[in-house]
A = this chain, B = another copy of it.
């Protein structure tokens, strides 16, 4: 195997630290070739049974973007109702999506019924197809970040409604709604930690059997 240098490994750790969820984007456009290069990392991702179950929808029309933003706003207002007192006040002050500013919106789906791979590895754990898609998204995230781009993963959404609005086949399930663009600020500290919502656990929970 090709050896990787210590300097590469050190930069890789740094990249993983930088790879936080980004919600504050400038409106500066993303070069088309760079966006395609980011998406191309999907083709490097392992997938269960080599099923490559990822399906990608670029959301570019003003109508589709507006529906997705409205979907988020409704879901976020509903989520706020689940908190009381101080937590509710804090929640309402959080910026939880950069959908308005981010120049690029990418919705990523999993085709749960793909025949590619002939079901290998997905009989006992069919969720492995979705996990393969998540893995591919994470490669794209790192590639984007290595090029200075930020990515934000929006999960405060009514997924069935989004699937309907984007008119995707019934076998596709939403894995991620991604905002991509140039970050306005950079920090290795998660924004939820800075805002006082939650802090990271100092240790990793490891048990033995």
Contact = CB atoms under 8 A, between A and B. Distances in A.
Interface string A181-209: 00100100010110001111100111111
Counting every copy of the chain, the complex holds: 2
A50 B208 contact: no
Nearest to A76: B124
Nearest to A17: B44
A170 interface: no
Count chain B CB atoms within 10 A of each CB in A3, A16, A119, A157 and give the residue with the most. Answer: A16
Interface residues of A, number: 100
A139 B16 contact: yes
B156 A121 contact: yes
A162 to B, nearest CB: 10
Interface string A132-146: 001101110011001
Contacts of A207: 55-58
A83 B121 CA distance: 13
Contact of A134 (B61, B124, B131, B167): B131
Contact of A18 (B1, B143, B206): B1
Contact of A155 (B16, B121, B139): B121
A26 interface: no
Contacts of A79: 120, 123-124
Contacts of A57: 206-209
12 contacts: A12-B15, A17-B44, A49-B197, A50-B193, A50-B197, A50-B199, A54-B205, A59-B209, A78-B123, A124-B158, A131-B131, A131-B176
